[in-house]
Amino acid sequence: MKKYKLSFSLLVFVLLIYSCSEQTTKYGDPLPSWNDGATKQSIVDFVNEVTDESSPNFVKPADRIATFDNDGTLWSEQPFYFQFQFAFDRVKEMSVDHPEWKDNPLFKAALENDMKTVMKSGMKGLMEVIMTTHAGMTTEEFEQVVKEWINTAKHPKTNKLYKEMVFQPMLELLDYLRANDFKTYIVSGGGIEFMRPWTEEVYGIPPEQVIGSSIKVKYEMTDKGPVLKRLPEVDFFDDKEEKPVAIHKFIGKRPIAAFGNSDGDLQMLQWTAATPGGGQAGEGKRLMLYVHHTDAEREWAYDRESHIGGLNKGLDEANENGWTVVDMKNDWKKIYPWSE
Amino acid sequence: MKKYKLSFSLLVFVLLIYSCSEQTTKYGDPLPSWNDGATKQSIVDFVNEVTDESSPNFVKPADRIATFDNDGTLWSEQPFYFQFQFAFDRVKEMSVDHPEWKDNPLFKAALENDMKTVMKSGMKGLMEVIMTTHAGMTTEEFEQVVKEWINTAKHPKTNKLYKEMVFQPMLELLDYLRANDFKTYIVSGGGIEFMRPWTEEVYGIPPEQVIGSSIKVKYEMTDKGPVLKRLPEVDFFDDKEEKPVAIHKFIGKRPIAAFGNSDGDLQMLQWTAATPGGGQAGEGKRLMLYVHHTDAEREWAYDRESHIGGLNKGLDEANENGWTVVDMKNDWKKIYPWSE
């Protein structure tokens, strides 16, 4: 009987150990694709601090706002912004009804996936391609078009779906923040209606937490009921100085954490770093993080001189202010969910 | 001993009855300030239906979006929109630094609370008063100004704080919907930054769920850090056709319930009623509700001819389409939280 009791105690002990070790595996490291080191530690320290009720830096859940850029921060953006490829693919699809495009240098270039020529046409040409492919239909029709594309279009280099070109470490970071009662938002220069149809599935971010650039829409009553018609006119370009403006308009609260990868995100990070009422990073703890593309082999390497996702002034400010800079090559064990 | 057992059973029985009856009081009627009848029933039926997993009209929690107009729907709006009174009070406050206003007919009228004269100056005059009193400061400074006003300014008729002029039955409705996993939004013609500082306290609606009219703001870096400066320029007027536009932009989902009181809310109700893809109220159950101001004694009575909160076309469409119309006088037991 005594022996039995001992075995039972042993069993309990073993079960305890087992359940603890499982916890370590399952809950112990919320960021398994991040290498241990200062970068990862700065994230974990921040989260621990703002969620610790006994800390002077405690932030109540309702104010735990985290904003993420998308292109180059949550998914790749090379060889050029994926939404441009979407526009080019639309040109191809729509060209059936536009035989005249073969004689138009701009649309001819788009048809041939010749980004260089389209870029040479400057902002005017680019906007013409965007407006032609993104407007002139209802919001519901556009949503369908985006859904079809995102579920079929593949990246030329990896041959993976574009929606699979997302960064595994950032997916873990999104989950980790949400598990700690953060509300995660996208604040991107990309089209708001280009992102919303798939961000919930891919990032766990619902439509109402996606902010982006937009074209104007108009309410129209048709004989089938009301529709919102997309107009070929810019409504809002969500980049640089406009990111804090959009955050203020859509959320009405200041983020306590912001994540970007380019100079287009600099003002969002400045706005997050600043103490309301003036003064830099005085009250409360904040997390400002830049993803630095340093991995030419597993992803791409670019920063100060890049025509896409340029990171120049932002890199200097990050260094000056002690913001977190992710060295993709050394800080990330894994780039994509499907990569080794 | 047997007697003791019986008393004990009796005690348990009494406790059970007591706890059940308490439940009836506490949870049994989620809308105690609503008189029983068709109006109340239409709300309860709708909520029961969309939250019943076995119903073909079941809607998953993430899609339970409910949008509320504010002026005249959640709080009173007579003798004129409360935000106008806020603007007039600001004119008074600011007049110390503007002695020249005494010779300006428009600002003189505002100083004397003479709404009639200000209204006569048309949209141009009204906008001048609004811009003068709402712009030219940072977003944080404006927030402070609003907070001070909302916590002190009193309604001329009731002598209650404006924030106490909210409708008790609508507060119950907001709670009831949220208890059933609805996300409640304000979609108002009122200023987004005029509402956000107090909607959480008063309605339980956080800043990120408040949509309204806005003026432009500009990001500026000062030596105290970045600020958002309010500019005297209209950004968005959230009324009529623009309400569905704003809902689409801010939420990216279609409401399944919408609440208003004027023709300014008609398109929001139409948009909610319509089945995506065309066709009126085909798929799924929706709740479109108009608050009809019929109570001259306890509140105000006005509709088709009113210069504020006019309800004309909307009343006809509501009747034609079988939308719910609240007869304030007969459907509401109580108007304000503090009234008898």
Is A274 an 8 Å CB contact of chain B?
yes
| pLDDT tens column, B192-204 | 999 999 999 999 9
The single-letter DSSP state of residue B187 is: E
CA distance B274 to chain A (A): 6
- Which residues neighbour A150 within 8 Å (Cβ) at sequence distance 6 or greater? A161, A162, A163, A197, A198
Best residue in A67, A194, A248 for a mutation probing chain B (most B CBs within 10 Å):
A248
Contacts of A217 in chain B (CB under 8 A): 245, 248-249
Rounded to 5 degrees, what are φ and ψ at B71? -65, 115
H/E stretch holding B240: none
Phi, psi of B129 (to 5 degrees): -65, -45
* CB-based contact B192 A249, cutoff 8 Å: yes
**ipTM score for this prediction:** 0.90
Q: Is residue B144 less than 8 Å (CB to CB) from chain A?
A: no
SS3 state at B138: strand
The verdict on B159 touching A (C-beta cutoff 8 Å) is no
Alpha-carbon distance A270 to B228, whole Å?
A: 12
Interface contact A322, partner B, CB < 8 A: no
Q: Choose among B193, B253, B267: nearest Cβ to A207.
A: B253
Q: What are B337's two structure tokens?
A: 């939280």
Mean pLDDT, chain A cut into blocks of 10 residues (340 residues total): 57 52 58 98 96 94 97 97 96 95 94 91 89 94 97 97 98 98 98 98 98 97 92 95 98 96 98 68 80 98 95 97 97 96
> How many angstroms separate the CA of residue A146 from the nearest CA in chain B?
14
| CB contact at 8 A, A335 and A299 | yes
Average pLDDT, chain B: 91
**Interface touch B244/A275, C-beta < 8 Å:** no
- Is A288:A321 a contact under the CB 8 Å cutoff? yes
Which of A319, A280, A243 lies closest to B222 in space, CA to CA? A280
**Cβ contact A210:A183 at 8 Å:** no
Contact between chains at B252 and A214 (C-beta distance less than 8 A)? no
For residues B73 and B173, is the Cβ–Cβ distance under 8 A? no
Angle CA(A43)–CA(B220)–CA(A245) in degrees, nearest 5?
A: 65
Give residue-wise pLDDT tens across range A81-138: 999 999 999 999 999 999 999 999 999 999 999 999 998 888 888 889 999 999 999 9
- H or E segment and range at residue A301: none
Element (H, E) at B73: none
Q: Mind telling me how many Å the CA of B14 is from chain A's nearest CA?
A: 41
Residue B38 confidence (pLDDT): 97
Query: Would the CB atoms of A222 and B278 count as touching at under 8 Å?
Result: yes
Interface contact B210, partner A, CB < 8 A? yes
Contact flag B192-A219 (C-beta cutoff 8 Å): no
Question: Which residues from A are below 8 Å from B62, CB to CB?
Answer: 206
- Distance (Å) from the alpha carbon of B277 to chain A's nearest alpha carbon: 7
| Distance between CA atoms of residues B61 and B80, nearest Å | 37
pLDDT attached to residue A280: 39
pLDDT in tens, B24-39: 344 589 999 999 999 9
Question: Is A278 in Cβ contact with B227 (below 8 Å)?
Answer: yes
Q: What is the pLDDT of residue B21?
A: 42
**Number of alpha carbons in the 13 Å side-chain half-sphere of residue B134:** 27
Give the rounded distance of the alpha carbon of B311 from its chain centre: 16
Q: What is the C-alpha to C-alpha distance for residues B260 and B73, in angstroms, rounded to an integer? A: 6
CB-based burial label for A293 (10 Å; 0-12, 13-18, 19+) = buried
A56 touches chain B (CB under 8 A): no
Looking at the partner chain, which of A224, A228, A253 has a beta carbon nearest the beta carbon of B208? A253
